[in-house]
């Protein structure tokens, strides 16, 4: 599992509330990614990081922000959750061989 964990694994929240999802890795990988998975869309990149304090936007970044203050943690924040952000969120790392390995996912429901 490449030492990747995500927390929480499940969350139900109300529209308009802020939500932060955490991705933690234990193997010092430089690149980390946040994706969302939705039926009919596959996985879409939200944001990624290429080092501490270095982040960039992906395909579907509106409504999301990220932070990476240390190598092992990559946080995804929904500033004001909306029902359209109900999804399964996956974190990934890029290995030294150039392959991406994924965390177990966080199932987020916005009511």
Q: CB count, 10 Å around CB of 88?
A: 15
- Per the listing, tokens 């999802």 go with 21
Nearer to other proteins (CB atom), residue 64 or residue 90: 90
Asked if 8 is part of the footprint of other proteins (rule: CB under 8 A), the reply reads no
- Residue 81's DSSP bridge partners are none
Asked if 27 is part of the footprint of other proteins (rule: CB under 8 A), the reply reads no
- Residue 56's DSSP bridge partners are 48
Asked if 67 is part of the footprint of other proteins (rule: CB under 8 A), the reply reads no
Tokens of 104: 């177990």
Nearer to other proteins (CB atom), residue 63 or residue 105: 105
Residue 94 and residue 2 in contact, taking contact as beta carbons nearer than 8 Å? no
Choose the stretch contacting other proteins; rule: CB under 8 A; options: 14-22, 39-47, 67-75, 79-87.
Answer: 39-47
Give dist(CA 52, CA 74) in Å, integer. 9
Residue 37 and residue 85 in contact, taking contact as beta carbons nearer than 8 Å? no
Nearer to other proteins (CB atom), residue 44 or residue 77: 44
Smallest distance from other proteins to CB 32, Å: 10
Asked if 45 is part of the footprint of other proteins (rule: CB under 8 A), the reply reads yes
Positions touching other proteins (CB under 8 A) are 1, 31, 33, 40-45, 48, 50, 56, 58, 90, 94, 98-105
């Amino acid at each position: 599992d490449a030492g990747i964990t995500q927390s929480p694994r499940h969350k139900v929240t109300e529209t308009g509330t802020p939500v932060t999802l955490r991705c933690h890795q234990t193997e010092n990988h430089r690149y980390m990614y946040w994706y969302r998975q939705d039926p009919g869309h596959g996985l879409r990149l939200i944001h990624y990081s290429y080092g501490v304090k270095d982040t960039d936007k992906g395909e579907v970044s509106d409504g999301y922000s990220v932070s990476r203050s240390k190598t092992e943690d990559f946080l995804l924040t929904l500033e004001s959750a909306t029902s359209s952000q109900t999804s399964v969120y996956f974190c990934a790392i890029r290995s030294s061989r150039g392959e991406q390995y994924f965390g177990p996912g966080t199932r987020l429901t916005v009511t």
